[in-house]
Structure 1
Amino acid sequence: MPRISVIIPTYNCAPYLTESLESILAQTFRDFDIVVIDDGSTDHTWAVLARYAGVATIVRAPHGGLSAARNAGLAAAHGEWIAFHDADDVALPDRLAFQLDFLRAHPAYEAVFCNGEPMDGAPPERRSVIPPAIVRRCLNRRLTAVELFAGYPVYFQGALVPRRAFEAAGPFDPSLRVQPDIEYGYRLFARCAATFVDRAVFRYRWHDTNNSGDRLGGRQDIARILERLLVQDTEAVRAVGRRRVRARLARHYYRIARQRAALGDTPEARAAIRQAAALRPLDPRYQLLRLWAGA
């Protein structure tokens, strides 16, 4: 049984896949296996993967999105530790070695999340994947719902997590197409002592097909996550504050309404305004907009 399973979901990433896989094969830590989930790619991904049939477990699945591919990878993996890796990113050579050594040296933590370096198309002012202001809030402490709510972005391609923690937290939610990591972070951090270390272990590629580029889809996902917190996660809401969660959710519905209106989708824009106003009944801005929405 390998010590670490590296899981690589891929969908139409053929131009980047060879460099990505080679960066894993070049790891200084050697006790690992690779599981690649081809999420129904329609480009020449399968031809690229055929060259790695002898060194990786390759699973071909119908297109179900990132979360479904990750779940398939977890089902096929055998390692004690899980390291996700994105098919368009590049792992730095000592990623696995550094993270495993860190956890051995810090037994109070079960999982570690690290920073990344921007590459290919990143804004010139962006020196790291996780900005310094967020780094300062999260550095060398246990990650909780408070850090997530304050803006900590969960990058699983920069994490090493014990398999048992994923089993405890359950599967990724395939219905969240843009922001599944944030929702999973709330579940994982409640069950696993994870920390953040400001050290780059991967290089993040900016390009037009990044999931994070779907701003409307991302806001809709976050609204669903916050709605779910209010109903299902009393501990997280208590830690953050119910009023703050409701205010954040109202702002997301307001921004969803603006984006829907810009797209000419007036019924959905009005529905989002009504949801924002219901969450903030004493806020005059939302109540005036509610009149426009016809409620």
Structure 2
Amino acid sequence: MNGISPRVSVIVTHYNYARYIAEALQSVRQQSIDDWEIIIVDDCSDVGEFALVERIVAEMGDNRIKLVRNSSNLGQISAIFEGVDQAKGDFISLLDPDDRYESTFLETMLAAFLNPRQMIGVAACEMGIFHDRYGVLSLHSTSFRYHAVMEGRYDETTTSQLLNGFSAYIPSWKQGWHWVATSGMMFRRAILDLIRPSKPVTFTRFEGDSYCGHGCHMIAGSAFVDQMLSWRRVHDNNTAKNPVLIFEYQNKLKPEFANSLGDSMLLAAEAILSTTKLSSAAKANLMPSISAHIGHQGILTLTQRSESARDIIWACAVGGT
């Protein structure tokens, strides 16, 4: 490990997935760089599940792995920020306990952040999909490469990857889902600190990737690395996905599907406008990006539920900062 502190902190939020976590942790221990730490945040798992995680960590005997336990179940978003509180790295990556990294994940994603061209808040890579019983299902989770080829941009993206460490930069005002899932994302710690939730998260137990992705993107934009650097596991115990459904569109056809994307974006926007770590002028400069993502109705909602947000929004409306 170089220096006093690790460069990357890998946060693993865990709730009753102990049977998978050893493989996830081992994928970090096998990285091509060793400048990392792992923070496991157990979100009040069942006693037996937590005991198994404790045993796995003890057997690994790696002092770069730290295990902390929440006294109550807070949900993924809050658990992530519990991990951020414990983290020492300048960059934060997320790893679901049932997923795993390719050996060059940390090195390649770091290169995207340390590029000579563009400050970014979040980077994402392509993810493969595998099944416990059926093996590899796909080497792609996105259509990035397909669209790059069909739109005549493939040479541009491959050149950017060589020169800049990322295949494409997505500006902060651009709407949409520009990432993959939790285990294919890395964040700049200084940006992630700015979107710490300003209130308890009650609308979902999941959505950590959505909240952190949209929040950091609204501030500093995103980069996409068109390399398959992590794996997403599909199994019979997935909490957010039905095991026989792979793609988000298919998942939306499930009767019980609840889309809380708008709520997570709104909460992230509220956190940005409420943080004391940004000046009023800096928040005003971010308003065009925030408005692009949450729209007029979202802006109106924020003025009704957050005094801090209302002050900034009103100052922008009348031309002040």
Same fold, judged at TM 0.5 (above): yes
Deviates more, 1:138-147 or 1:199-208: 138-147
Give the equivalent residue in structure 1 for 2:201.
174
Cα offset, 1:170, TM superposition: 1.9
Equivalent residue letter for 1:155 = A
- Distance change in 2, residues 1:180/1:134 (3 Å): farther
2:183–2:231 Cα contact (<8 Å) kept: no
Give the TM-score normalised by structure 1: 0.69
Task: State whether structure 2 residue 44 is matched by structure 1 residue 40.
Answer: yes
Residues 31-58 of structure 1: CA deviation (Å, up to 9, x unaligned): 1111111111224342233332442111
Task: State whether structure 2 residue 142 is matched by structure 1 residue 130.
Answer: yes
Give the equivalent residue in structure 2 for 1:66.
76
* % identity of equivalent residues: 21
- Distance change in 2, residues 1:227/1:189 (3 Å): closer
- Distance change in 2, residues 1:15/1:144 (3 Å): same
- Within 1, Cα distance between the matches of 2:89 and 2:266? 34
- Structure 1 gaps of 5+ residues are 247-295
- Within 2, Cα distance between the matches of 1:74 and 1:82? 8
1:145–1:186 Cα contact (<8 Å) kept: no
Give the equivalent residue in structure 2 for 1:51.
56
- Distance change in 2, residues 1:219/1:226 (3 Å): farther
Q: Which has the larger helix fraction?
A: 1
Give the TM-score normalised by structure 2: 0.64
1:118–1:203 Cα contact (<8 Å) kept: yes
SS at match of 2:174: helix
1:115–1:197 Cα contact (<8 Å) kept: yes
Q: For 2:100, which of 72, 83, 90 is the aligned residue? A: 90
Residues 146-165 of structure 1: pairs in structure 2 closer than 5 A: 146-148=174-176, 151-165=177-191
SS at match of 1:2: coil
Aligned length: 243
Cα offset, 1:240, TM superposition: 6.1
- Distance change in 2, residues 1:199/1:60 (3 Å): same
- Distance change in 2, residues 1:196/1:46 (3 Å): same
Give the equivalent residue in structure 2 for 1:10.
14
Task: State whether structure 2 residue 202 is matched by structure 1 residue 193.
Answer: no
SS at match of 1:79: coil
Equivalent residue letter for 1:114 = C
1:144–1:186 Cα contact (<8 Å) kept: no
